[in-house]
Structure 1
Amino acid sequence: MKRGFEVISQYKDKNINLPKRATHKAAGYDFESAETIVLPSIWKIIFKSVAIDAKQWIYDTFLSKETQEERQEREKALKPILVPTGIKAYMQEDEYLQLTNRSSNPLKHFLVLPNGVGVIDADYYNNESNEGHIYFQMWNFGLTDKVIEKGDRIGQGIFIPFLKADNDETVGERTGGFGSSGSASH
């Protein structure tokens, strides 16, 4: 087995479709949402944050200071939503799966991937933290909340080989799931 997709154990009985290419010459495999998710409008969050900032300025100026927990809660609201796919991918060690947006998402649905593209490394497959579950990070820049229904196509995955530099060195082994390879101290 060189490369492909599997349903993670948590979603085995939830009618998850394996990613497929839409046409014979398509490069990307279409991923679907494994659950119904509401993506809040980023504008609603920003305007709410601005209103909170104004209220906070009054509070800070005349009464008290915002706690670190309150600031963290507001920052958390601006983070992208992780849309689960229920899928994991296996591949050769010199390949990765590039996650990209569907071309229709920004134009028709006001949805973007804030990280531009996602990178699923070969060692993400079956990691202990989350079994290699693939998520798409998404922002909704539309004026209203967007409901993504279970089974809606949300993005594409493209298997891509990569080259290694002369005298290649790695920092260590994967120790977790989503975002874990970037957590080494530098």
Structure 2
Amino acid sequence: MTDYKEKEIHLPQRATHHSAGYDFEAAEEVVIPSIWKQLLTRKINDNPTTEKNIKPVLVPTGIKAYMMEDEFLQLANRSSNPLKRFLLVANGVGIIDSDYYNNSENEGHIMFQFSNFGLKDRVIKKGERIGQGIFLPFLKADQDQTTHDRTGGLGSSD
């Protein structure tokens, strides 16, 4: 994992007094390849192996966040990304749980997952706003039980 301490990363900020979300920036330049270009390049004919190779791209933010036990950070796309750049947050909405940060196997680095449904590859430049994060509380069901403690990062509770 890249250390972003010396990389001039900006802390997320809200754009206006009434903004719910904090704008996150890309910590480095990343290319998001067109899914169509990938499909054509691989000449798929219902080949499941090729389909597995077309994955979202993780865009690092260089940011970590802590939350209280009954809070989470929701990661959402910027409204202009699909409209102007053909970029989707691949998991729809990202959920950063309070135990994502600083557990035994993960330092808590926040990343956005993007897929590009446009015809051309898209370049996200360092410092470009890529998404927003909204801190939210959550409730637990009566007789709530969990199966284990988190020991990892993205997808570690699968």
Q: TM-score range by the shorter chain?
A: over 0.9
- Structure 2 partner of 1:53: 45
SS in 2 for 1:45: helix
> 2: CA distance between counterparts of 1:81 and 1:9?
16
Q: How big is the shift at 1:52?
A: 4.3
> 2: CA distance between counterparts of 1:44 and 1:77?
13
Q: Which has the higher helix share?
A: 1
> Aligned match of 2:109 in 133, 141, 147?
133
Q: Which amino acid is the alignment partner of residue 27 of structure 1?
A: A
> 2: CA distance between counterparts of 1:29 and 1:45?
32
Q: Describe how 1:1-186 pairs up with structure 2 within 5 A.
A: 10-49=3-42, 51-53=43-45, 71=49, 74-182=50-158
Q: Which amino acid is the alignment partner of residue 168 of structure 1?
A: D
- Structure 2 partner of 1:61: none
Q: How big is the shift at 1:9?
A: 8.2
Q: Which has the larger radius of gyration?
A: 1
Q: How big is the shift at 1:129?
A: 2.9
SS in 1 for 2:112: strand
Per-residue CA deviation, residues 122-144 of structure 1 (Å, 9 max, x unaligned), is 00011233310111000111110
> 1: CA distance between counterparts of 2:135 and 2:123?
28
Q: How big is the shift at 1:75?
A: 3.6
> 1: CA distance between counterparts of 2:69 and 2:106?
19
SS in 2 for 1:124: coil
- Structure 2 partner of 1:65: none
Paired residues in the alignment total: 158
Contact 2:106 2:151 in 1 (8 A): no
> 2: CA distance between counterparts of 1:121 and 1:19?
18
SS in 2 for 1:47: helix
Q: How big is the shift at 1:175?
A: 1.2
Structure-2-length-normalised TM-score: 0.93
Unaligned runs of 5+ in 1: 1-7, 57-67
Q: How much identity, in percent, do the aligned residues show? A: 66
Question: After the TM superposition, which parts of structure 1 deviate over 4 Å for at least 4 consecutive aligned residues?
Answer: none
> 2: CA distance between counterparts of 1:41 and 1:9?
25
Contact 1:128 1:177 in 2 (8 A): no
> 2: CA distance between counterparts of 1:95 and 1:17?
23
Q: How big is the shift at 1:179?
A: 1.2
> 2: CA distance between counterparts of 1:127 and 1:83?
21
Alignment root-mean-square deviation, CA? 1.9
Unaligned runs of 5+ in 2: none
